[in-house]
Amino acid sequence: MKFFEGFKSKRITNQIVLHSNQTTVWKEITNVMIYNFRFPLFLRLIGIPKPLSAKIEQDGVGGYRVAKFSNGAEFHQVILEWELLKRYRFNFNATDNFKVGHFLNLSHGPFKIETGGYNLIVIPTGIKLELISNYKLNGFLGKLLHLPFRFTVFLFQKHLLKAIESNCNVPSS
């Protein structure tokens, strides 16, 4: 089962096949606009802020992206790897007000998402897009809540990929 792949290494990967081209998919993963998508009820109920956008401010290795959320929190993501139209990887620096589950702080709490990234793989039917998150657990609470945290990130990734898929299928104006 995909949910348990990477359990010990603290890595979560989800993928989706997009019937689109590399340029369109790359545009959607570097400058994500998903504020208009319905956010899953389960994630709202457990206090996960709704993602609004993630925009590259400076591209290439050493550049950065800013991800914004409905509660005013942000991730400031420094780009660690950049291979145009193929992959990029970034670290996560959550602002101090980034809380999940109404009280667990992502900048210095029991969980920390350390890096994330996207891989674009060209296949005969389009692009297979992989979304990868690497995380760290801190202390007893981190270990105790490992499975719920993992499940939440897994669902969050699925939501992001579905929003990207929807954006890729919208005709350009």
Give the pLDDT confidence of 23-60 residue by residue, as tens digits.
999 999 999 888 778 888 888 888 888 899 999 999 99
CATH code of the domain occupying 2-168: 3.30.530.20
C-alpha–C-alpha distance, residues 132 and 91, integer Å: 11
Sequence-ordered list of residues with C-beta below 8 angstroms from that of 116, at least 6 positions apart, any chain: 77, 89, 90, 92, 131, 132, 133, 134
Asked whether residue 172 carries a pLDDT value surpassing 60, the answer given is: no
Mean pLDDT of 129-137: 94
Phi, psi (rounded to 5 degrees) for 8: -70, -35
Residue 107 is classified by DSSP as T
- Of 16, 22, 56, give the one whose Cα is nearest residue 160: 16
Q: What would the two tokens of residue 154 be? A: 């897994």
Domain boundaries, the chain: 2-168
pTM (global) more than 0.75: yes
